[in-house]
Amino acid sequence: MIRVGQGFDVHQLVEGRPCIIGGVQIPYEKGLLGHSDADVLLHAITDAILGALGRGDIGTHFPDTDPAFKDADSVKLLEEVWRFAGEAGYRLGNIDATIIAQKPKMAAYIPEMVKVIAHTLDASPDQINVKATTTEQLGFTGRGEGIAAQSVVCLMKDAR
């Protein structure tokens, strides 16, 4: 059986926060604001997995009102959701994701993001594709007010 899911997330860029995307801290004058570490890419991937599993969304499992998730490491949230997939008998087909950011430049950090994601999902890096695009200075991403990410995930399990 094949199941697909998609995820989308946005976080505001502000001063005084680290810029953590795909589990990698990127040197930049601003960082992403959120209850957790605000890792917009991992949140989009986590939501895509939950979508494929039919298990709701990230906020259902990790409410932003719960102090337990204050400054949470989003790698741990992804890890926990990946446990749900394993328990349901799924393995990863592939992930394709896009970071939507005018700045900072992501390209140099993408191989490390792929490594982190593959390691967290017990997968091979060739199952994970991460891309980045600007919005040509248009909209909130183009003005540098925030960063968005979207992801598609394909999960597979053998028919019984």
Ligand X SMILES: Nc1ccn([C@@H]2O[C@H](COP(=O)(O)O)[C@@H](O)[C@H]2O)c(=O)n1
DSSP for residue 31: E
Binding site annotation covers 9?
yes
Q: Is 36 helix (H, G, I), strand (E, B) or coil?
A: coil
- Contact status, residue 21 vs residue 146, Cβ threshold 8 Å: no
CB within 8 Å of 26: residues ≥ 6 apart: 19, 20, 104, 106, 109
Size of the site for ligand X (CB under 6 A): 7
User: Using an 8 Å Cβ cutoff, are 145 and 134 in contact?
Assistant: no
**Of 12-20, 55-63, 68-76, 128-136, which part binds ligand X (CB under 6 A)?**
128-136
Residue 134 interacts, among ligand X, ligand CDI, none and using kind-specific CB cut-offs from 5 to 8 Å, with ligand X
Q: Is position 123 annotated in a ligand binding site?
A: no
Q: What's the DSSP call for residue 27?
A: P
Binding status of residue 12 toward ligand X by CB under 6 A = no
Task: Verify binding: residue 72, ligand CDI, rule CB under 6 A.
Answer: yes
Residue 69 near which of ligand X, ligand CDI, none (CB within 5-8 Å, type-dependent): ligand CDI
How far apart (Å, rounded) are the C-alpha atoms in residues 57 and 72? Answer: 16
Q: Does 41 engage in binding with ligand X (CB under 6 A)?
A: no
Please report, in range form, the residues annotated as the binding site for a divalent metal cation.
9, 11, 43
Task: List contacts with ligand CDI (CB under 6 A).
Answer: 9, 34-36, 38, 43, 58-59, 62-64, 69, 72
